[in-house]
Structure 1
């Protein structure tokens, strides 16, 4: 019986497909992309294995910290920066520079956000992005809806429901967001023998930088929800709509395609908090992660 193909080849094949067949187009950022429409990957997490890419280093703690930030319902980058995560700085920094005319460095901007609460309140907020929609979706009657709490309660009370999902595409608030949600819909599926899977639909997938983070964070979320509901993580399934490589990421993608995947690591939660709100980065342990070197690339804003 032949040895099964490493699951990371799903990512590498997707990279190759976009490079070879992607439609060259000018995008919102002005950088330009190679894009395809419609893609899928499927990862088995049953033994604790998680889809953290090995053909380049993925900073998995940063991805998990971002997910934990989403779960707080927070929309200001100040707590992220205090937790040494700067992946959301580009958007408020760009807004500050354009509106103030101040050519401030990123480091100085981040320092002011962390040290000056008034400055952070004015310039560090991203609008009603992911966490706001997940935890405080505002209905037309003014009532807020906690989609995450509802999801967990629904999994416990009605695990075979076809409505086990949450999403962030709130049409009425899109124009207030620094960046409309890319990873939009998370749906869950529970089996009779106690397994739970997550399907993520992502309307826009930055294949080099975004997708590896989204897969890592999505797997971490599945582990947390599984633990909170007494179920076993099974599969993480990802669907991409517009899946693209920015034109300034092409050479980095070619470098990554030359590398052979290594054994994927395993994730373990070190404790069970009382609720989904109780997780901290110290609760996550990743064993056996031995990736190739990181590949640097610029975020398109």
Structure 2
């Protein structure tokens, strides 16, 4: 964060807000003994990030299940679409309340398109006929296939989970930022790597680090492996210019504590974890710092 704010290239971005950006950043974390990349210089709502990850694993793309759990991180995108397409000046809070209370309204306006979870567990396939026509085939569950390959072929170089489906990008509320995961087994440990094409360091990165490391921990448990190293790689790694107050406040703080994650049980499959299965200890962060999300 300090490097980007001091040395980053100032650019006009898609949102019109403006950023300072560097390209090709790398972070590395050892996940041994329950350690997690859970930032302590501000409070990270790790349960919110965990609920989002569990939502991805269901393949769901409508925000209503998140809204009903009090998770707000995807609300702005469907709200912006609603206002744009209807012309109704409905506040974000009122929109979210309608999503929660009206299932039909949620079906019409709460969907994000084929974002992360859809690609992870139901990547579309197509069956082509000789006459050039085609029909949709059975979806590919990349996550289930990944668990199976880790168990049965640990030396493979194809332990990959991909979200960047070029054919469906224009149907997504937001193309995947954390797009490519790769895993590597060595000495009984599962190492993980996440490549993120675009990263909002102030707001997004704390969630991204937690979620990716948590997914790696879950995969390791399901494959009877110990968690090893987690590597994060960022393409366009940026800070928004309107986040100056957050950045300066956070950089003035000193990290404190050594949070640890314990997974309380091993469910039958990776799709059966619940929020109650995760317990974080020794997390004593500084207070939260609020800042607007760029849509």
1:242 matched residue in structure 2: 236
Q: Distance in 2 between matches of 1:36 and 1:277?
A: 36
1:19 matched residue in structure 2: 5
151, 169, 175: which one aligns with 2:164? 169
Q: Distance in 1 between matches of 2:53 and 2:42?
A: 21
Q: Distance in 2 between matches of 1:66 and 1:236?
A: 20
217, 240, 250: which one aligns with 1:223? 217
Aligned-residue offset at 1:58: 0.5
1:107 matched residue in structure 2: 93
Aligned-residue offset at 1:206: 0.3
2:180 matched residue in structure 1: 185
Aligned residue pair count: 286
| 2:283 is aligned with 1:289 | yes
Secondary structure of the corresponding residue to residue 181 of structure 1: coil
| 2:40 is aligned with 1:54 | yes
Deviation above 3 Å: which 4+ runs of structure 1? none
Q: Could you report, residue by residue, the CA deviation over 1:98-128 in whole angstroms, capped at 9, with x for unpaired residues? A: 1111111222111111111110011000000
Q: Distance in 2 between matches of 1:112 and 1:257?
A: 38
Q: Could you report, residue by residue, the CA deviation over 1:134-153 in whole angstroms, capped at 9, with x for unpaired residues? A: 00001233331100000000
1:145 matched residue in structure 2: 140
1:3 matched residue in structure 2: none
Could you tell me which runs of 5 or more consecutive residues in structure 1 were left unpaired when the two chains were aligned.
1-14
TM-score (norm 1): 0.94
Q: Distance in 2 between matches of 1:257 and 1:107?
A: 31
Secondary structure of the corresponding residue to residue 298 of structure 1: coil
Query: How large is the Cα RMSD of the aligned pairs?
Result: 0.8
Q: Could you report, residue by residue, the CA deviation over 1:179-227 in whole angstroms, capped at 9, with x for unpaired residues? A: 0000000100111x31101100000000000011000111111111111
Secondary structure of the corresponding residue to residue 161 of structure 2: strand
2:63 matched residue in structure 1: 77
